[in-house]
Structure 1
Amino acid sequence: MLRPGAAASRTVGDALRERFPADLSGSMEVVVQQDGRGALDPAALSAYANTLSRLPDVARVDYALGTVVRGSRTAPPNATSVRFRAAGDDLLQVVPAVDYASTQARALVHATRALPAPSGSTVLVGGAPAVLVDGRSAIGDRLPLALGLIVLATFVLLFLFTGSVLLPVKAILLNGLCTCAVFGAAVWIFSDGHLSGLLDFTPGPLDTSMPVLLFCIAFGLSMDYEVFLLSRIKEVRDTGASNVEAVATGLARVGRIVSTAAALLAVTFVAFATSSVRFIQMFGVGTALAIVLDATLIRGVLVPAFMRVAGGANWWAPGPLRALHRRFGLHEHVEDVPQPVAPPPAPRDSATADTPVRSSD
């Protein structure tokens, strides 16, 4: 079986990163659209290309008039240069000297977009670095709304289930703590390069979509375990038990179920770490770590400790919310099972009843 580190694609990728400063696969595509008719003035286009080539971390700029490096033309146009011009628009290929996913590449995208466009034209910046910048921006713009909806829905559902204001807040904070720990471990392993020898991957920046995916899965599984535990604690509490007794009994009842489910899921996701694809490895290790942390440290230690310290405040809610919970809350109803009715005693015969019983000698 071919090891991932010995694959030809991996060897070529390592050679490109280590020996060649220019990254063609991560180049930026700069399109200069003429507002009027006709092509852009060659002098203005050349001046704009020279300015681009002087930006930090730019290896070279290829366009219809040749190749420019640090403001100096190093190669004249050739037969393939016609591909940089079409229908009056010009394409400039900016080849960065750094990895397209690096911080320097993202800074290069912002610097390129900040440059003034040639007179009478509009500049559009694309390519792998620009896609990464735009993707991060889109996620960042929508992230507060998404987090707000998740927190609101979680709070409402847990309140309707428990009738408490404190328990939903506790669940959200502890689940967020678990997610942050997973993010830190993912950076430590896959970005900083720890365990790269064991898992056989090349360290690099985290994929933009990976934190979102890990958050959704880790938060959802954590909330499942939270509901399992709270349901048993509330069940004992509703029978009139004290807070301490309810927490201890509920944890004892559900602990084995949560531990078994977590072990099964963790083993399944750890299997993804055997993949030769770094994205799949990150997904498997991150999810398995989130499950193990939640089932052990969060559910087994922090949740019982918090509820023990909070005491009766665990089940507190203001008067209006208590009334709302009594009206719309989620309750576990136990159906009344009819008890079997004993048959009436058989009527005794009057003659038999009046006849005295004679004992035998």
Structure 2
Amino acid sequence: MSKSKTQAPPAVVAQRLPAEQLYAAELARLLAADSGARPEGWRLSPAMVRTFILGSDGREVGGEVVQRKIFGNDDVVERSIVTLVGQRGLMLVGEPGTAKSLLSELLAAAICADSTLAVQGSAAVVEESIRYGWNYALLLRSGPGPEALVPGPLHRAMSRGALLRFEEISRCAIEVQDNLIPIMSERLLHIPEMQEDPGNYLLAKPGFNVIATANLRDRGVNDMSSALKRRFNFETMRPLARLQDQKELLLREVNRQLADQQISTRLTPDVAELLVSAFQELRAGSAEGVAFEPPSTVLSSAEAIAVAFSAAVQCHYFAEPKVRPQHLARFMVGTVIKDDEQDSRRFRDYLRVVRRVRTNSPQWQDFADSQDD
């Protein structure tokens, strides 16, 4: 007897889908197979949320194996889920490219099936873009009331019992950040313009919470107040340490992006291993025991994915038969090493070291030969 599979939703034409749409069929299978206890307002149990993010380790769940979506940081993922169960705010911090935003999105997709209630932190963000605003035509006609109120992401998250994602919170002014203090303490949003009770406040429904992210390199831009920090549990996302994890992530993400764009070129395991090794050596400032000055730029897994994807796109559209190490090195200048001439010099120094210490490796020699063009 054949197993019935969950029917996939109709395809949506978009450059990038939110996680709850991209993994809609998988989330439906997990929901159907989920027998665990669920906190009030949660779509999946904490155990199934973990399975959705970290994978099922080869076991079938709902008829299929669940693939891992976050590599490394397993303990951070588990503690993040527990934090949200306890109705504490979750603050994800780390170096750029450590998947803070991805984890935030996946948590929201699994817990409340909506990762789009988000604020992108910047100096331009004001209170109204977070809390609520007004339709001024209706406001002038009938005064402040439910019809004239335009809900912001915070208002919508509280009224639906969903998660608010606050990206790069340290880029916002301190007075904007501190809007969250009474919300996270009282779970109540005051609307003083509407004077009649109960319309002058909004109570958060079960399931509401806040996930914020902050870049460690941006600390001090607009440092959070002590009062706001006390309302969050802080979790630090670490760069991937294991070469195999980096390689697996690189291969899967690059080849998925290429398939999504109907590009036939694929990244091969040997070229992927060379790239993650190069990134690891550049971060460490050492190759085969030979030291060199490392670049000051961020060398994250996200940047490695961008380099490999760009190299594959070039090969596809300019009739190269396959991605070679030399293609990768060319795109590391501009994609990773941008406008700092000293970083460009440091990268050239690294290529000279590679050429000297790996004379017996044709692939590494091809990588080093990019500086001759």
Q: When the two structures are superposed, what TM-score results if normalisation uses the length of structure 1?
A: 0.25
**Bigger Rg, structure 1 or 2:** 1
